[in-house]
A and B are shown apart, each in its own frame.
Chain A
Amino acid sequence: MNTRELSLVLNGVPARAVVETRKTLADVLREDFGLVGTKLGCEHGVCGACTVLVDGAAVRSCLLFAVQVEGLSVDTVEGLSATGELSEVQEAFRRHHALQCGFCTPGLLMSVTEYLRDADPADDDELRDALSGNVCRCTGYQGIVDAVRQLVDDRRSADADG
């Protein structure tokens, strides 16, 4: 069993572990760091449930080996709220009923977090295209689209005011 020492910045805090080189980032996050908020839905990179941010980019943690994030920063759903209060994105998801069983939700939250940094969709079709990397089997996507639409609009009006 080959192992290697891994150091990274995990949810803003330096972290280290000795990990098996063949383990995926998703498994290391869940098993070695106990961050089970990241979910595995398909383990072949389609469903997006395992999406985390690596140096700010949304990636499938089931398709990366953990050792590939050596020295990088990784953000998971657990890092979205330091206090246990819902963040702006989480609150919008709740208000718009953007989740039911919640299994795809952590991955969606991470994808949306990345998307909102420079999102400027012309219409809901464009928004839906942007969200099409994450499968949700419960909601029919409407609540998710509504939540992200509201977040985009809020940001636009904040920019206009600023």
Chain B
Amino acid sequence: MPTADGLPGIGGIARGKAVGARVTRVEDPKLLLGEARYVADLALPRMLHAAFVRSPHAHARVVSVDPTPAAAQPGVVAVLTGETLTALPLEDAAVHPTLPKTPQPAIATDRVRWAGEAVALVIAESAYLAEDAAEHVLVEYDPLGVLDDLDAALASDAPLIHDHLPGNVLIRDHYSHGDVNAIFQSADHVFQRQIHHNRLAASPMETRGCLADYRRSTGLLTFWSSTQTPDLLRLMLSIVLDHPHQRLQVIAPDVGGGFGPKMSTYPEEVAVAFASRLLGRPVRWIEDRREHMLTTNHAKEQRIDLSIAANADGRFLAFRARYVSDSGAYSFNSATALIEPQLAAGLMPGIYDVQAYEYELLAVMTNKTPIGPYRGVGWTAGHTTREVLIDEIARELGADPTELRLANMIRADMLPYRSATGLEYDSGSNERAVAKAVEAAGYDAVRRAQREADPTADRRVGIGVSPYVEPTAYGTEIAEQSGYPYSSHDNATVTVGPTGTVRVSVGVCSQGQGHQTTFAQLAADALGVSVGDVEVVAGDTERAPFGLGTYASRGAVIGGGAVALAATQVRSRILKLGGDLLEAAPEDLRIEDSIISVIGSPDVSISLADVAGAAYFDPAVRGPGEEFVLSAMSFYDPRPTFSNGCFVAVAEVDLDTGGVRILRFVAVEDCGTVLNPMIVEGQVRGAVAQGVGAALLEGLVYDGDGQLLTASFMDYLLPLASDVPAIEVHHMETPSPRTVGGIKGMGESGLMASPAAIINAVLDAVSPYDPALVELPLTPEGVLRLAGRLPAS
């Protein structure tokens, strides 16, 4: 629809030179010049340093903690234990009627539940001295039985990790939609696959860290943290420390990657804030990588068993699934231990038209690092299970896996569509995205080459296709639909200053996603200024309005939508005043290049700076009782919208070594209105690279005593440039009818759907061996097992 100034509009937002363009990022120069400031780069006068003493036992009673030898070490200012640190335990804030809480102390008191849980905190004049002294804290443990995996935790004689959770099950839940039993009984075929999904570490390159500065004179606590959610952290700290909310400021400075784990409030943050308040001095803690692997939330481990009932033609009739998540030691405060199984279960029907579906889910507690969010929470495991099983069905039925998917897919003409779990898909390009992806990847040529290949060759090529829908715009409504009811919205303030330049402040902060650029693009087009005339402020509870932060692909839709709404309000005030000054009707005006002019008469014009100057300084422009505040604050809680797309991977498997080489990777992404294609491509590629890791390289491994065997980057393998293929991204653009500007969220699909494409390519390559995938990642050893070159595990 056309906007007031005649610019082509998209669903109510102005689109000028910036939105949709490959605008290079405004945040880049500071990052490239070494001028960015992450929390470890911040220092304050009289600053102290913290080091945590951590349990070497996965499960034990803490008999005693003696801090006195440590307190006598050089440079030590204080040693805190669970007894002397008096904060309330951390609990999730979920509103769920039957979900028990597992209160988590900042420092353990009588019991430790995973190897790495903190038992004391040493504060000293330097980080080196604090770490030296930490070795002198004397802790006596009485070891308890260890729940090192699901089988151990679910055994009838298993010790209890939390005394109030019988059987170590936090929650068991059921859901049913349609007559699943009858369909399964009468179906021509029933196919089944169980996969144990690997435990992952999101591994942002910057570890966690925080700096607390409490001033006794004012009672003000300023808290810098490498967090994705400054306002939620502020609220949680205020509660557990009983600190007045109005005297607590949380700042997320430059943050070196998030991907989910930096959403939660961590025990260390509570402890460091407590220590600063106790000592009246700034205290900083910077996590090292080993601590990060041991204590920052792990992700995605669950066992999924999926059955699909189908008719003779391969039409899917019903799904039945069981989700058992290995949730670690606490139901973590980010979103509880339910997040993995619940979100996997909710999206299992995915892009397919299946209305009969039932599931059971269990969240099981174990003596491991707590599970929390990581990009595509739940969806990665669920999507992978389903797509692997669909390829198996195709092999069993002798069908082409792409044709089988298309035959069962929710086509664009079936949208809007309500899924069996109540997700309301709004719009998309489902089957067109598949067609584009398989064409770009040369699907038919790969199939031809496979038919012509030497069947005895050790190097075999396979192809995997993985179409998806991605829930985005995590507002209140989709939170409800996903089984996590909470109020999810955001706010933004847009101000045109007296010189005609723009300041945007927004509660959605960045961990590298480029929000400063995309939000500036939106504000620039709404107000007819250049991107350089817009400054975006975020990540500071004092300088930005309340916001829930950055997670769940909510930045562009909710943050961007809020910015566009506020900017549009300011725009109408500028046009009103500009109209008065030009003696023209506001609807006849346009703003471009910071000039307000009459449409069709460009000579009748006034600069934005003059209009803004008049609003601020010229009382004559105001009628009686009139005011021109060139600032507006918006509130935005969008309706759900769903992105879609399709990934195709072509992989070569070496049956001699088990090595996998990804030859091609094609991603077709439809996230509605594209604000900045360069940034969208970067999000897709980054998430796909994480998918390469999830599929082939990464896995957190524990031994039978609950000791993490993969606590360094020597053992936990992140994808390198040589592991990741060129990732070819194609855009499709189906604007959402439901959101401001038609914007849909994106950023998680890459990790949700790329592992399935890669895994299916590998399984396709070894298909003559009837591969039965039971666990991930697909290491060379795993590949050789699937191909029968090594005995099955």
Contact = CB atoms under 8 A, between A and B. Distances in A.
Contact of A141 (B254, B678, B681, B721): B721
Q: Report the contact-size class of chain B (Cβ under 8 Å from the partner).
A: 35 or more
A120 interface: no
A94 B25 contact: yes
Given A99-B28, A106-B34, A135-B720, A42 B713 contact: yes
B205 A137 contact: yes
B33 interface: yes
A142 interface: yes
A13 to B, nearest CB: 16
Given A86-B32, A102-B254, A105-B32, A141 B205 contact: no
Given A36-B37, A47-B205, A128-B722, A143 B28 contact: no
Nearest to A49: B205
Contacts of B254: 101-102
B679 interface: yes
B441 interface: no
Interface string A107-135: 00100000000000000110111011011
Interface stretch (A53-61, A72-80, A151-159): A72-80
B1 interface: no
A89 B257 CA distance: 22
A91 B288 CA distance: 31
A30 B41 CA distance: 8
B259 interface: yes
Contact of B35 (A37, A40, A93, A124): A37
A137 B712 contact: no
Interface stretch (B234-242, B460-468, B510-518, B524-532): B510-518
B722 A37 contact: no
Given A49-B205, A135-B713, A141-B724, A39 B256 contact: yes
Contacts of A106: 34
A65 to B, nearest CB: 13
Nearest to A89: B32
A139 B684 CA distance: 9
B31 A102 contact: yes
A3 interface: no
A91 to B, nearest CB: 8
Contacts of B684: 140
B686 A140 contact: yes
Given A94-B29, A136-B205, A137-B205, A103 B257 contact: yes
B682 interface: yes
Interface residue range, chain A: 35 or more
Contact of A138 (B24, B128, B257, B681): B257
B289 interface: yes
Nearest to A101: B512
Question: Which of B24, B27, B74, B720 has its CB near the most chain A CB atoms (within 10 A)?
Answer: B720
Nearest to B729: A142
A95 to B, nearest CB: 6
A76 B679 CA distance: 28
A90 B713 contact: no
Given A42-B713, A141-B721, A124 B28 contact: no
Contacts of A131: 720-722
B207 to A, nearest CB: 8
Contacts of B727: 140, 142
Given A36-B37, A101-B511, A131-B722, 6 more contacts: A94-B28, A101-B204, A102-B36, A103-B205, A136-B205, A139-B682
Interface of B: 24-25, 27-38, 40-41, 74, 128, 203-207, 254-257, 259, 288-289, 511-514, 678-679, 681-682, 684-690, 712-714, 718, 720-724, 726-727
- Cβ-closest 8 pairs across A and B: A37-B34, A101-B512, A102-B31, A103-B256, A140-B685, A140-B689, A100-B512, A77-B34
